[in-house]
Copies of this chain bind each other. A is one copy, B any other.
Amino acid sequence: MSYVHGYQLQETERLTDQARTLVDLLHGDTHFPAGSRVLEAGCGVGAQTVTLARRSPLARFTAFDISNDSLAEARRRIEQARLANVELLWADLADLPFAPASFDHVFVCFVLEHLAQPGAVLATLGRLLKPGGSITVIEGDHGTVCFHPESDAARAAIACQVELQRRAGGNALIGRTLQPLLRDAGFADVRVSPRMVYADASRPSWVDGFTRKTFNAMIEGVRAPALAAGLATAEGFDAGLRDLQRTAEADGVFCYTFFKAVGRRLNTSTDPR
């Protein structure tokens, strides 16, 4: 699997900014009970792991990723945060080393968007849940982007990111599909709640933390691969970037929506499909 956002230091900084700015919006309503066993699938550099483990200090977290570089960074952060309730390990989503029904909760954030078979992975994760256990999934959706001033060039630059992610086997428009995805993977009581980031001059920390340092930085990060793939000209892509930065100015507006879904493994002997 090729990870469209790359693994550079700049990317690490982007993910940290993203996590810092979005923590309350995305995770403010996620708490795990004392003693519960929680699996975080695809923890990356641990941006979400630290937040989750801090907010539920009496839950026990197992977090894995397929990138050793990301895991090293996650380990550094967890040590820095002096968290004793997180176990980190290397694992591949396609061949997980966990026993069936061994977790009370599974947490998946910004992972499904990179997978060719997100439904199959969800079904696999469901089998790791105890009956009655629950899953939380968070994904963005680039089709929810809405900004002022409107710009065809900015739309085209975003479309390059969507297309590159598609060619890498992923789906940057996955957020809106969480309800049918989870239901088809066998989860019950699926509830989706959208979380919209709205950034204008009256909310400067969102303009800086999200519009500039998260979204626009992400689009800027695919400039080279987009040009290499012939998806845009340098002039066209840079015009799009300028127009995206324009939405972070005093009279600009930028909106983006994340989707958070919670579902439950049925309390029966039947495995999720």
Residues of A within 8 A of B (CB): 141, 143-144, 146-148, 150, 173, 176-177, 179-180, 183-184, 190-194, 196, 198, 200-202, 251-253, 255, 257
Contact = CB atoms under 8 A, between A and B. Distances in A.
A201 B130 CA distance: 26
B180 A148 contact: yes
B176 A202 contact: no
Contact of A194 (B147, B193, B198): B198
Nearest to A143: B146
A255 B146 contact: no
A176 B146 contact: yes
B143 A176 contact: no
Nearest to A180: B251
A190 to B, nearest CB: 6
Contacts of A257: 146, 196, 255
Given A150-B173, A194-B196, A196-B196, A144 B255 contact: yes
A179 B202 contact: yes
A255 B194 CA distance: 9
A253 B177 contact: yes
Contacts of A146: 141, 143-144, 176, 257
20 contacts: A143-B150, A144-B255, A146-B176, A148-B176, A148-B177, A150-B173, A176-B253, A179-B200, A179-B202, A179-B251, A180-B251, A180-B252, A183-B251, A184-B251, A190-B202, A191-B202, A192-B198, A193-B198, A194-B198, A196-B196
Contacts of A194: 196, 198, 255
A179 B192 CA distance: 28
Contacts of A141: 146
A155 B36 CA distance: 45
A142 to B, nearest CB: 10
Given A194-B196, A202-B190, A255-B257, A144 B143 contact: no
Given A179-B202, A194-B196, 6 more contacts: A146-B176, A148-B180, A179-B200, A191-B202, A193-B198, A255-B257
Contacts of A184: 251
B196 A202 contact: no
Nearest to A191: B202
